[in-house]
Amino acid sequence: MADKKPVKNTKRRQAIIRIVIMAMILVCINILASYFHGGIDLTHEKRFTLTTPTRKLLQNMTEVAVVDVYLKGKFPADMQRMVEGVREQLAAFKGIAGNRLIYRFSDPLEGKNEQDVKQVVRDMKAKGIDYMQLPTREEDGFSMKICFPFALLHYNGKELPINLLENPPGKNREEQISYAKALLEYKLANGINQLASPTKKRIAYAIGHGEDLSVKSFDMLSTLSILYNLDSLNLARLGHISNAYDAIIINKPTIPFTDPEKLKIDQYVMRGGHILWVVNTLNASMDSFNNGSLKAFALENGLNLDDILFKYGVRINPALVEDFTNMKVPLMGPNHKMELHDWPYFPKINPTSEHPISRNMNFIRAGFTNTMDTILTAGITKTILLQTSKYSRISTTPVTVSLSKAFYPGVKENFTKTSQNVAVLMEGQFHSLFENRLAMSYQRHLDSIKEHFIPVAKNSTSMIVTCIDDIFANDYSTKDGVMTLGYCKYDGEFYANKDFLLNCLEYLTDKSGLMEARSKDVKLRLLDKGRVKDERVIWQWVNVSIPIALVLIFASGYIFFRKRRYEVNTNTPKTTVKDA
């Protein structure tokens, strides 16, 4: 009996030591986990894996970035999934950036009375942060909750609001959430990249050839002046185009270009310049119907750009495309009231390309639009960015545009042409239009400004060509003034014209590669409602019974093996100890 007490004390000490060691191990694991973030992404679309450019950006951060997310509190289930998506994305960013990234969630309206809420809304709006209202369940029913689906990014002494939840039309709530989650990495990384840049990129808007400078282009030019150092560029007054410009924009010219002007554009490209071309070869316009005429003729502008664009790898055809998927225009109906009618000359373009410029993008609003063909050009890679729908048809020049097509647009079977190219990205080492045929007068001009003629681009460069008329044009009215580019005052919908143009310029000017993150897609994997209804009871039994069965199996096995280990074998003869 005397020997049993030391044995019990020894076992007790060993148990305590084991518990202490286990606790120390758990504490160490938690400390390490707070510094090192990792995981395995088993999703098909790799939604939790950061792209290589984003990882490089986070690794090269020189200062601390602070992200204030204004999404805290009780939200509906779908919005709560959005909040968790933002939290997961920021955690992934912090796993790479470490202590150089701080994020925090807050509710700006917490504890505020009605008057304070109005002031907070005004202060947020001044920062470029707008609010939305969400229906939330309360004890006495439903109420509308104001929230700010934005993050405010502070970095490099500057701040930038980031819209986390856009509202593209034509998508239900689940699709909107998935769309927003797919763009989270791109938006956050692009925001850091913008603030990290010490200076804005320089771009130039060409003038002097009838390019639009009216109120119709006000919104886009205003936006560009905020994001870039924007200059105007008059080719007739310059000896050459400076390569200090990261890109130039040639938007809807109507006056022909001279060969010396094309030489300036050409040599800018040969020195590595980038161009966004918006070119329409026909002069079709809805203003032609203002005099009461029911017909108008669309004739060629004669821009003298066919040869240079052909040399680079694209041909814009002197034809108008009609699309069964189209915009509506207001026309006077038989009852002398304005009515909206389908107008096949104004395609509604659905971006289907997988390229980051146009991926995950809503419909684009188009005016009179030509068609484009790509030309086989050595060393140039071409990517189709935008096409009309597969229900299209083409009217070749001279085109008679008749208002009767608004009242009788035709049936789908009449649109027999397949999808037509309307925007193309070209990349590579371009050859000069003047290669092997440079006139002596042009050579003397280059000598006078101390420039050497370059027949082939030394480095790879890029340009984007689109023949969508009025892609730059915003609506306006005497009552509401200038409207956001992409907003249609007739149907009240928002289109992605501005997003597409900004993506084009970002791709041409920014070589960080962050646009790769726009290719991500968070797919909706919804339940089959039919199977849910038919197999509901079966899966309820499976979900309830399997966990219970697993617990019983584990407990039975544990008892069985424990009994085998400690039971006394009755067949073993007992040893008797006789008293001395």
Residue 141 lies in a domain: yes
Residues 469 and 512 in one domain: yes
Burial (Cβ within 10 Å: 0-12, 13-18, ≥19) of residue 68: middle
Residue 218 lies in a domain: yes
Q: What is the CATH number of the domain that holds 98?
A: 3.40.30.10
Residue 35 lies in a domain: no
Q: pLDDT, tens digit, for every residue of 128-167? A: 888 888 776 666 666 677 888 899 999 988 898 998 887 6
pTM: predicted TM-score of the whole model, two decimal places:
0.75
Residue 234 lies in a domain: yes
Give the residue from 197, 162, 200 showing the smallest Cα distance to 183: 162
Q: What is the CATH number of the domain that holds 298?
A: 3.40.50
Residues 329 and 412 in one domain: yes
Q: Which two tokens stand for residue 42?
A: 């088993």
The answer to whether the beta carbons of residues 274 and 485 sit under 8 Å apart is no
Burial track 102-130 (b if 16+ CB lie within 10 A, e otherwise): ebebeebbeeeeeeeeeebbeebeeeebe
Residue 542 lies in a domain: no
What is the residue type of 209?
Answer: H
Residues 127 and 247 in one domain: no
The last residue of one of the domains, among 194, 220, 235, is 194
Residues 272 and 409 in one domain: yes
Residues 188 and 206 in one domain: no
The last residue of one of the domains, among 152, 169, 194, is 194
Residue 580 has a pLDDT of: 42
Positions of the chain with pLDDT lower than 50, given as ranges: 524, 570-571, 577, 579-580
Q: Kindly write down the DSSP assignment for every residue of 111-167, as one continuous string.
A: T--HHHHHHHHHHHHHTT---EEEEEEETTEEEEEEE--EEEEEETTEEEEEES---
SS3 of residue 441 by DSSP: helix
The last residue of one of the domains, among 474, 489, 519, is 519
Residues 367 and 512 in one domain: yes
Burial (Cβ within 10 Å: 0-12, 13-18, ≥19) of residue 327: buried
Residues 311 and 211 in one domain: yes
Cα(498)–Cα(502) distance, rounded to whole angstroms? Answer: 6
Residues 403 and 273 in one domain: yes
Residues 65 and 155 in one domain: yes
Cα(485)–Cα(365) distance, rounded to whole angstroms? Answer: 10
Q: Which two tokens stand for residue 528?
A: 């089959």
Number of domains into which the chain is organized: 2
Residues 186 and 219 in one domain: no
Residue 4 has a pLDDT of: 57
Q: Which two tokens stand for residue 345?
A: 């000359």
Residues 189 and 214 in one domain: no
To which residue do tokens 């109420």 refer? 143
> Containing domain of residue 181, as a range?
55-194
Residue 63 lies in a domain: yes
Residue 561 lies in a domain: no
Residues 390 and 487 in one domain: yes
Residue 462 has a pLDDT of: 96
SS3 of residue 38 by DSSP: coil
Residue 367 lies in a domain: yes
Q: pLDDT, tens digit, for every residue of 395-427? A: 887 788 878 787 777 778 788 888 999 999 999
